[in-house]
Structure 1
Amino acid sequence: MIDTQRHRALGTASRVSILDIVKAADGGVTIAEVGERTGLHPSTARAHLDRLVGAGLLVKARASGGQPGRPAWRYRIAIADAPAPAPYRALAAALLDHLSRRTAGDVRAEATRAGQDWGRHLAAVTPPGEDPTDVLLGVLRGLGFSPRLHHTDAGRTEIHLHTCPFLELVNRNPDAICNLHVGVVRGALEHAGAPPAGAVVEPFGASDACVVRLTMPEVDPRDRRRPPVDADPR
Structure 2
Amino acid sequence: MNPTQQQASLSEAERLNAVASLGDPVRKRLFELIRRSPHALSRDDCAEALGLPKSTIRAHLDRLAADGLLLVEFRKVGDRTGPGSGRPTKLYTVAVGEVAASVPARHYDLAAELLAAAVQRSIDSSEAVEDALAGVAFDAGRRLGAEAGTIHNLLANTGYDPRPDGRGGTIMANCPFHKLSQEHTGVVCQLNGALLNGALVGCGDGDHSIEPDAELSHCCARIVPVR
TM-score, normalization: structure 1?
0.42
TM-score, normalization: structure 2?
0.44
Q: Which has the higher contact order (CA 8 A, sep 6+)?
A: 1
Q: Quick check: which has more Rg, 1 or 2?
A: 2
